[in-house]
Amino acid sequence: MAVQALATGTAPASLCSSQAQALPSAAARGEFSSTSSLRVPRKLQHSHQRRRWRIVAAASDEGIVDEDEKGKGIFNFVTDNASSRGAIQLPNTPAQDGNLGQMITAIENKGRDYGAYKRAGDYSWWVRTLGEPQAPKGTVLLLHGAPAQSYSYRDVMKQLAALGYRVYAPDWLGYGFSEKPQPGYEFKYTEEAYHRELDNLLVRLEIEAPFFLLTQGFIVGSYGLTWALNNPSRVSKLAVLNTPLTPSAPLPSLFQQLRVPFLGEFTCQNAVLPERFVEGGSPYVLELDDADVYRLPYLDSSDPGFSLLESTRKAPVKDLTARIARGFASSSWQVPTIVAWGEADKYLPKSEAEEFAKSNPDVIKTAMLSGAGHLPQEDWPEKVVEAIDGFFRA
């Protein structure tokens, strides 16, 4: 049997050595306590407070669900957060059937940090902005991947702004708080359409080239890379976080499901889908307030799910990674580039970063971020900032 405990101090003697070695070094110096209840989140007692570490400890308690049984059943999509369990909780009586509306009211103002709506072309983007307009170190544009949102960069933004950068982080159209045009009638959700609207946004924000570009993640995150290939003169330096970079990159089950007729239509309407994806690629569990922000757009409307569905199905996945591999290996790509890679990524192996860098070693450098998963900016923003600031200043 196994129980799930969360780090607050030193690992008990019952933890095996391989489990203890897997902990972040700062956490390993603390003291751990275990509990017989499954999935009770407790904060790490070190400087990195935004996520929680999960530890599996041995136990002999009868009646505890075996770890091998985890994930089975009709509610296996529910995350470790109490608030996400509440998102699908059924009322005891019809008179109490106000659960969804109450949840939206309780969280609707969360996650608006540093953001405002900006009209660019035909659409409204939610854009987070920090730093002085004439920041001494220049401008940084941060692009997120599917199914996340710019909220994942909130701490990276604060730290970069404090270091002297002007920082922008938009939600891609169809994601987060940005407009979600109706698929098939307005926005096409294709790579070309995203490139065109990103150009419109850059004009609206008056971002002058060349600027620093950082991109991360699947689908729309990859479109940040192909935009850079089309516009190398507009990019001063490029930073890449965990993103599929070669044709051998695996496609997570979420995107495989979305591409299946009927199954995709059902999957895309799961309100806890984005937080489930964030947690699934990492050793950590989201804070409850942060999970609320990732979930909010999906609770409020069916549009985010259908936007994700459309952009996933319109993405030329194999061709996309093949073009990225060829484009950055080509002698035509001379823009200094760094791949800052979360080594604990459960979706993409670190060989993606290593093979990518080998294809153009004079231009592409790597920085391995131990302890960080698929979204390093969410898991360990301090390490991301340290890696890219040093690279941008070099």
Say which residue the tokens 């405002």 belong to.
Answer: 116
The verdict on domain 108-393 having CATH code 3.40.50.261 is no
At 220-263, the pLDDT tens digits run 999 999 999 999 999 999 999 999 999 999 999 999 999 999 99
61: pLDDT strictly greater than 70? no
Say which residue the tokens 């702004």 belong to.
Answer: 161
Domains in the chain: boundaries: 108-393
Distance CA 159, CA 150 (A): 15
pLDDT of residue 302: 94
Residue 72's pLDDT band (cuts 50, 70, 90): very low
Higher-scoring residue by pLDDT: 43, 107: 107
At 90-111, the pLDDT tens digits run 444 443 445 666 667 778 889 9
CA distances from 391 to 55, 179, 298, 357, 367 (A): 34, 34, 36, 15, 10
Q: What integer is the mean pLDDT of 196-217?
A: 97
* CA torsion through residues 296, 301, 307, 310, sign: positive
Q: Are 373 and 346 in contact (CB under 8 A)?
A: yes
At 364-383, the pLDDT tens digits run 999 999 999 999 999 999 99
At 132-157, the pLDDT tens digits run 999 999 999 999 999 999 999 999 99
CA distances from 99 to 89, 94, 111, 199, 320 (A): 8, 11, 21, 41, 41
